[in-house]
Amino acid sequence: MRLLLLAGTSEARQLAAILAAEGFPAIASLAGATRTPAPLALPTRHAGFGGMEGFEAFVVDQRIGAVIDATHPFAARITQRTHDVCVRMGVPLLRLERPAWVPRDGDRWTYLGDEAQGIERIPEAAVVFLATGRQSLSAWTGLRAGQVYLRVIDRPAEPFPLPGSFVTGRPPFDLAAETELFERLGVTHLVAKDSGSAEARPKLEAARNLGIEVLILGRPARPSSLLVVETVEQAADWARRLPFRSG
């Protein structure tokens, strides 16, 4: 039996390193959202599963005895599918999800239920920096701002559909670089998903220091019966208690 680690976050990389160092029988999976993902310490497959049936077949073929879902907090479809399949097949499942961000003194945050609320709130003269990922771009095409910038890891081949451009960059980002970028672009509004990532926190600090308004997209709901931990060590402890951890 093997453990399946659904990766795509810095916490997943840390957990993979622990599992590999302890000789845990495990395999990792990356959905392929970026062309050049950071390597993991475990054997890794780079593809989707082909829906629920494909995921079920993979669990059977690879003798998966437990799953840790350490995907992004906004990977709602993956989390729901994983939960449904594991419940149906009787496979133990753990969700590793870092805590949400907490505003600090001086932050100018507004929480959004969806992108449409952001489009309504952002004025036409705004200079908007979208830190929401390339896959979110279609939801913002109705934005009527003066300039819009979207940060991506890999620059897409298609042209940018709004006044503005793509901005390439790979995390982690430091405070000085984020501050320089926002000042150079003249950013007035920052839009971010509530990922809770420590690597992404500098952009929020830069926005606070520069007086930039921040719009935070709230996290999607997750299955109510899902077992959730917030730290890598908690997830590692859960894995250590699995009956097949010695192979």
Which domains, from first to last, does the chain contain? 2-99+221-240 (3.40.50.720), 109-217 (3.40.50.720)
The pairs formed by 51-55 with CB atoms below 8 angstroms and a separation of 24 or more are 51/81, 52/81, 52/84, 52/85, 55/81, 55/82, 55/85
> 177-197 pLDDT, tens per residue?
999 999 999 999 999 999 998
What pLDDT is recorded for position 246?
55
Question: Longest Cα pair distance anywhere in the chain, in angstroms?
Answer: 60
Question: What is the rounded distance in angstroms from the CA atom of residue 27 to the CA atom of residue 245?
Answer: 13
Question: What is the rounded distance in angstroms from the CA atom of residue 70 to the CA atom of residue 51?
Answer: 18
What pLDDT is recorded for position 244?
80
What pLDDT is recorded for position 67?
98
What pLDDT is recorded for position 50?
86
Collect the ranges in the chain with pLDDT lower than 50. 247
Looking at the DSSP bridge assignments, the partners of residue 151 are: 167
- Rg, Å, the chain Cα set: 19
CA distances from 174 to 103, 208, 216 (A): 19, 14, 20
| Alpha-carbon dihedral sign for residues 105, 110, 112, 118 | negative
The model's pTM: 0.85
What pLDDT is recorded for position 35?
63
What pLDDT is recorded for position 225?
94
What pLDDT is recorded for position 33?
60
Percentage of the chain lying above the pLDDT 90 cut: 83
Question: What is the rounded distance in angstroms from the CA atom of residue 5 to the CA atom of residue 69?
Answer: 6
> 117-130 pLDDT, tens per residue?
999 999 999 999 99
Q: What one-letter code names the amino acid at 104?
A: R
Question: What is the rounded distance in angstroms from the CA atom of residue 78 to the CA atom of residue 82?
Answer: 6
For residue 160, how far is the Cα from the chain centroid? 22
Say if CB 212 and CB 108 are below 8 A apart: yes
Paired tokens of 102: 């907490």
Q: Is 151 left (phi over 0), alpha (psi -120 to 50) or beta?
A: beta
Q: Give the helix, strand, coil percentages of the chain, each rounded to 5.
A: 35, 20, 45
Question: What is the rounded distance in angstroms from the CA atom of residue 149 to the CA atom of residue 187?
Answer: 9
> 212-244 pLDDT, tens per residue?
999 999 999 999 999 999 999 999 999 999 998
